[in-house]
Amino acid sequence: MFEINAFAKVNLSLDIIGKYPDGYHEIRSVFHSIELFDLLRLELVKEKRLVIDSNAEIKDNIIHKVWDYMSLNFDIKSGLYLYLGKNIPLKGGLGGGSSDAAAFLYAINLIFSLGLSREELVAISMNFGSDIAYFFYGGMCLVEGRGERVFKLDDYLNEEIILVIPNKGISTSFAYDLFDKNPQVSNYTKQFFDAKKKDIIRPGNVFEDLVLSSDVELKKIKEILNEECEWNLMSGSGSVFFAKTNKPKQIEKKLSEMGRIVNSRIKPFELRLIEF
């Protein structure tokens, strides 16, 4: 039996700097792993097929597509039973589905002794989504293009944070539609690095104002965080916020029925398969 944790990420910065002819957007963003994981527990089975069990609904999960591709194109003669323990909220901007795909690819490579390099795994992952690539690196990275250009940074953060998880999620397509209807010019990535040189954390996200202007409840959550936090930001296309604060109980009380709080930490994590 094998286990691997698929870590979540937050976007410390996110800018949209262009659009490709095929409709995909060109981004520039600083990703950082956080202390929140989905658990993948894998066991070899004789029949060449994938059986998935989970604590959450996984209809059309990307993991099925990864398995179909790998079992067709590589020397895999047996199958896998996978238990997927979901902790990363869906439609939260934390990269849960992409991280699961990266962890599963990483595990397949080792379990079946395929001998693929990280660069080869990244190339394969592009068949399933351009934002999977980061999760083969972890820590703090500059991510550009469609999400496929990942530059590992020597620096990293180690900060206690809270995650504020609203009751509603935001789909990535919805957030990009908002941007296309009202394009924004931003330079949050430069802002982040300039502040970092002074040991200041100043995150920024081009989606945040757009999404908040479309949702009264999320806007209210943001107002609460502005009152009670040293800094806070919506991650990715939303809807989860991450924040630095010493007032989690006050925030939880003010949130009432709008969401919940999870304690976490921004810190480096890397993929690691454990056999037992």
Is 213 annotated to bind ligand? no
Mean per-residue pLDDT, 119-129: 97
Is 129 annotated to bind ligand? no
* DSSP bridge pairs for 126: none
Which residue is associated with the tokens 């609904």?
57
Q: What is the pLDDT of residue 181?
A: 97
Name the catalytic one among 86, 100, 131, 222. Answer: 131
Is 259 annotated to bind ligand? no
DSSP for 206-218, written as a single string: HHHHHHHHT-HHH
Convert 154-171 to b/e letters by CB count within 10 Å (16 or more is b): eebbebebbbbbbeebbe
Name the catalytic one among 9, 86, 222, 267. Answer: 9
pLDDT digits (tens, 9 = 90+) for 16-70: 999 999 999 999 999 999 999 999 999 999 999 999 999 988 766 799 999 999 9
Is 93 annotated to bind ligand? yes
Active-site residue, 131 included? yes
Q: What is the pLDDT of residue 58?
A: 74
Q: What average pLDDT is seen over the chain?
A: 97
Tell me the percentage of the chain whose pLDDT exceeds 90. 96
Write down the pTM of the prediction. Answer: 0.96
Pairwise CA distance, residues 176 & 193, whole Å: 25
Mean per-residue pLDDT, 74-103: 97
pLDDT digits (tens, 9 = 90+) for 156-177: 999 999 999 999 999 999 999 9
Active-site residue, 22 included? no
Is 97 annotated to bind ligand? yes
Q: What is the pLDDT of residue 203?
A: 98
Q: What is the pLDDT of residue 61?
A: 77
Does residue 176 contact residue 25 with C-beta atoms inside 8 Å? yes
Mean per-residue pLDDT, 179-206: 97
For residue 104, give every residue at least 6 positions away whose Cβ sits within 8 Å of its Cβ, in sequence order, or none: 6, 40, 63, 66, 67, 82
Is 96 annotated to bind ligand? yes
Question: Could you give all domains of the chain from N- to C-terminal order, each with its CATH number?
Answer: 2-154 (3.30.230.10), 160-266 (3.30.70.890)
